[in-house]
Amino acid sequence: MLQSKLLTKISKTFPEGEESKNAKWLIRGGFIAKSSSGVYSILPLGLRVLRNITEIVREEMNALGSEELAMPALVEKKYWEKTGRWGVDVIYKTGNEENKKDEAHDFEFGLGWTHEEVMTAIANNFIQSYRDLPKSAYQFQTKFRKEVRAQGGLLRGREFLMKDLYSFHLDEKDLESFYLKIWKAYNNVYKRVGLKTIVAEAGGGDFTKQYTHEFQVLNTAGEDLVYYCSKCKFAQNKEVFKPENHKDCKEEILNAKAIEVGNIFRLGTRYSEAFNLKVKLESGEESRVVMGSYGIGITRIIGTLVEEYSDERGIIWPKSVAPFKAHFINLRKNKDKEFKKFFALYEKLNKNSNEILFDDRADKSAGEKFAESDILGIPLRIVCGEKTGIKLEIKERSSSKFKLVSYKEIEKYLAV
Ligand code: ATP
Ligand code: MG
């Protein structure tokens, strides 16, 4: 991709009115744009990061044997009424003053803030026998929430992207075995995107009465407070914290602010009861389906990564999610032989992947190009200039060391 052709430009200053580190850098770098408080557009650069994250999540969910689907964002009132959750979140009404009495066109919807209801209704069409279990399905979907305090940039939006997965089981035992598997899959996801998480017990909110598990990244930008032990696996969210539960370990309990990047819930039969979802057993008796639901905050992960990986000069994306693999920067004034070689290498490496950004802009100084490259946070910077001679300069964003290497070596670096 040629940098001169990008839709976005890097801003010289931070946006006004944004306090969080992630919103400041992401807006300045042209990854996102604020639409209104808690509502952001994901711009092309941001979408590259988002797609890398969703692909990792997709791979891990598919590896569990789960299937991807897409449910509607408009969820009619009748669905929420079955579980007593109508009005918990954002309501959307069709119709207006003129056709107020026109019942045929008057619908009340909840803007999907979670999809247990819709998913259970779908499952009802396909799950009838114990032989149909277990099943699970997931989606990536924009969720809408009546957040009173939308804050922290992508950490708490009124509209955000979530991966939500729902599972259906014959009994608690089968749910438990799936629960442990998805727990592992979540660990893989966070590791692959570059986040270190601890798993804290928490309450179930509007979803379940049982303990749930939250995947938390210890970071001062977080809104949660987690009590945890550095020696054993004990960790609880402040809202359910009971020090007496940490009795088999002598180590002191610590606490820290944390960002919840995902959670897993055992739902039991609350939703299958509401939607009358049951299966026929071998004996001929009927049994309620046991369910679980599992969320990952995709856009919140982007915000968390910037909170975790940035310095005074900009973002430092982990390789696995970076918008581009490498940033090629041309400093040569003339389209001479060396420039042509450099451009040919870019074309060769970029051809199939489109994962190289080439700074071809003639109106920027070397200093400006470097400063902007640091803001974008692409893992590798490769420079061709009068000073680099017949070689190229390579530098990792995360390090201050640079060296001159041959074209062949660059190809090797980028092959991995
Ligand atoms: P929180 O306690 O932060 O409000 P939640 O318990 O409401 O989160 P869920 O409804 O279970 O979260 O959503 C699943 C995941 O979606 C969360 O673990 C989090 O990563 C993400 N998430 C929830 N609310 C938001 C939001 N307003 N903005 C961005 N991501 C969110
Ligand atoms: Mg919430």
What is the best residue among 138, 143, 165, 189 to mutate for testing ligand 1's pocket, by most ligand atoms within 8 Å of CB? Answer: 143
List, for residues 99-140, the tens digit of each pLDDT value: 566 666 667 888 999 999 999 999 999 999 999 999 999 999
Provide the pLDDT for residue 209. Answer: 72
Residue whose CA is closest, atom 4 of ligand 1? 156
* Closest ligand by atom to 224 CA: 1
Superfamily of domain 11-311: Bira Bifunctional Protein; Domain 2 (3.30.930.10)
| Mean pLDDT, rounded, of the chain | 94
Q: Given the CA of residue 114, which atom of ligand 1 is nearest to it?
A: 10
Is 297:261 a contact under the CB 8 Å cutoff? yes
The pLDDT assigned to 97 comes to 56
Sign of CA dihedral 360, 361, 365, 368: negative
- Distance (angstroms) between ligand 1 centre and the Cα of 297 equals 6
Listed by start position, the domains of the chain span 11-311, 326-415
Segment 323-366, tens digit of pLDDT: 999 999 999 999 999 999 999 999 999 998 999 999 999 999 99
The whole-number pLDDT of residue 53 equals 98
The ligand whose atoms approach the alpha carbon of 259 most closely is 1
Supply the residue whose CA is at minimum distance from atom 9 of ligand 1: 295
Sign of CA dihedral 86, 91, 97, 101: negative
Closest ligand to residue 145's CA? 1
Of the candidates 93, 148, 92, 143, the residue with the CA atom closest to the CA atom of residue 116: 143
Confidence label for 197 from pLDDT (cuts 50, 70 and 90): very high
Q: Choose among 89, 64, 61: nearest CA to 74.
A: 89
pLDDT score at 100: 60
Weakest-pLDDT range from 20-29, 99-108, 237-246, 303-312: 99-108
Measuring from atom 24 of ligand 1, which residue has the nearest CA? Answer: 156
| Residue 102: per-residue pLDDT | 60
Between the CA of residue 207 and those of 113, 197, 242, 263, 384, what are the distances in Å?
12, 23, 21, 12, 56
% of the chain beyond a pLDDT of 70: 96
Ligand 1: atom nearest CA of 158 is 27
Nearest CA, atom 13, ligand 1: 295
Extract the tokens encoding 56.
């990792």
Contact at 8 Å (CB) between 315 and 27? no
Interval 400-414: pLDDT, tens: 999 999 999 999 888
Gap from CA of 86 to ligand 2 centroid (Å): 16
263 CA distance to ligand 2 middle (Å):
11
Give per-residue pLDDT as tens, 216-262. Answer: 999 999 999 999 999 999 999 999 999 998 988 999 999 999 999 99
Identical fold at 11-311 and 326-415? no
Please determine, for residue 157, whether its predicted confidence score (pLDDT) is greater than 70.
yes
Using the mean position of ligand 1's atoms as its centre, give its distance from the Cα of residue 330 in Å.
Answer: 42
Calculate the alpha carbon distances from 125 to 128, 185, 278, 391 in Å: 8, 28, 11, 64
Q: What is d(CA 262, CA 147) in angstroms, rounded to the nearest whole number?
A: 17
Tokens, residue 341:
């070689």
Residues contacting 301, CB < 8 A, separation 6+:
53, 193, 195, 261
Helix axis angle for 172-193 and 44-63, nearest 10°, is 140
Residues enclosing ligand 1, CB less than 6 A?
114, 145, 147, 156-157, 160, 162, 205, 260-263, 295, 297, 299-300
Cβ-proximal residues to 274 (8 Å cutoff; 6+ apart), any chain: 82, 83, 117, 120
Of the candidate CATH numbers 2.40.50.140, 2.60.40.10, 3.40.50.150, 3.40.50.800, the domain formed by 326-415 belongs to 3.40.50.800
- pLDDT on residue 91: 79
Position 204 scores a pLDDT of 80
Closest of 8, 69, 74, 14 to residue 323, by C-alpha: 8
Instruction: State the DSSP H helix or E strand holding residue 56, giving kind and residue range, or none if neither.
Output: helix 44-63
